Amino acid sequence: MSDSTSLPLRYVGNCGVKVSNICLGAMTFGERPKAGVALPGQCDEELAHSLLDKFVALGGNFVDTADVYSGGVSEKIVGSWLKKQEREKIVLATKVRFPTGTGPNDVGLSRKHIMFAVEESLKRLDTPYIDLYQTHCWDDGTPLEETLSTLTDLVRCGKVRYLGLSNVTGWQLQKIIDLTKTKPYEPFVSLQVQYSLLCRQTEWELQDVCKREGLGILPWSPLKGGWLTGKMTRDGGAPAGSRAAWADEKKMFLQSTPGFSTYGNDDKVWNLLDVLQSVAKETGRSQAQVAIRWLLHQSAVSSVVIGAKTLSQLEDNCAAGFNNWTLNEDQLKRLGEASDVPIPYPWEMTWRCQTGRKRDGVVPV
């Protein structure tokens, strides 16, 4: 395999570990134990292992899961595959925060829950350590100092190598970072956050904080539940078996699974999809590849987290990260303009007032 058709590596934020610029997310691995909740297109163990094998063959080394994906089954599947690999060649990420049981302490970022959850994740993953341990969401119920000291202990005892965050607001992210500077807490190296041509709000605060503080952005839902793949049509609706069709049927409109009804009457979205299709034709690439490649052009992005339920889908999405093609300035401009959203106060005013005041590169603090 030539270098141009193998996934290149990037540093994760300001730390010394390198990961493939495409990360294989394992949310599609395993059926959810609770009947009637399973998303369409979930993978059994055999298919998941085939996807993981192919991902590594394409140059991938970065795998992301979470303790709540498929009720822990995702971690078990990744763990059974990991036993057959050279452990040090894989950068393994998982998460903690959401409910893993019915008890009052089976959720959150308390010392009690984190210490229990990390041991359970290590058992399911069948590994002595986790490379990147991420808080899955902000937790109002736990003082930050309690969470930060607990995570620091996990790094210092060797169960975790690096720390990451996910799903926080701008002020929450900055507060967390500032606290790690005031006491000997382990710093965070990454932020996993929703980011795509249909979710540009990440740029309002989170992107700037990551650039200034040296965190790598790991976008999740880069294709917005299939909306950026080209499978949706204004007249045809959502294809049967798609996540958009499932969302409408179940009336479960999650951030990662918007239904057809979410955007079906939005002319701006259809205009974006027209531009995306046009750029895909110009580049000879799929619309999914163009959408993922657009993210790889954005500042502070270290790796894009993709999901896959077939080998062909995995190969197509991974090809977005190869170095044998790119988007030109005109294509980036058209995609940016078509996907841009109105900027509310105070962001609009503060940005407008920075004319002539922007610095190049990282801004010193």
DSSP 290: H
Task: Give the 3-state secondary structure of residue 304.
Answer: strand
Task: Give the 3-state secondary structure of residue 178.
Answer: helix
Rounded to whole angstroms, the Cα distance separating 213 from 174 reads 9
Which stretches does DSSP call E strand in 212-306?
Answer: 216-220, 304-306
Rounded to whole angstroms, the Cα distance separating 339 from 337 reads 6
Rounded to whole angstroms, the Cα distance separating 276 from 258 reads 19
Structure tokens at 185: 């807490």
Q: Which of 18, 21, 39 has its CA nearest to residue 30?
A: 39
- Asked whether the beta carbons of 40 and 239 are under 8 A apart, the reply is no
User: Is 69 an active-site residue?
Assistant: yes
Rounded to whole angstroms, the Cα distance separating 60 from 52 reads 9
Rounded to whole angstroms, the Cα distance separating 63 from 70 reads 16
Rg (C-alpha) for the chain, rounded Å, is 20
Torsion of CA 235, 238, 244, 249, to 10 degrees: 100
* Active-site residue, from 69, 133, 195, 263: 69
Amino acid at 303: S
- Asked whether the beta carbons of 94 and 136 are under 8 A apart, the reply is no
Task: Give the 3-state secondary structure of residue 227.
Answer: coil
Cross-strand partners of 305? 23
Residues 6+ apart with CB under 8 A from 246: 39, 40, 252, 257
Residues 6+ apart with CB under 8 A from 55: 24, 63, 314, 318
Catalytic residue IDs: 69
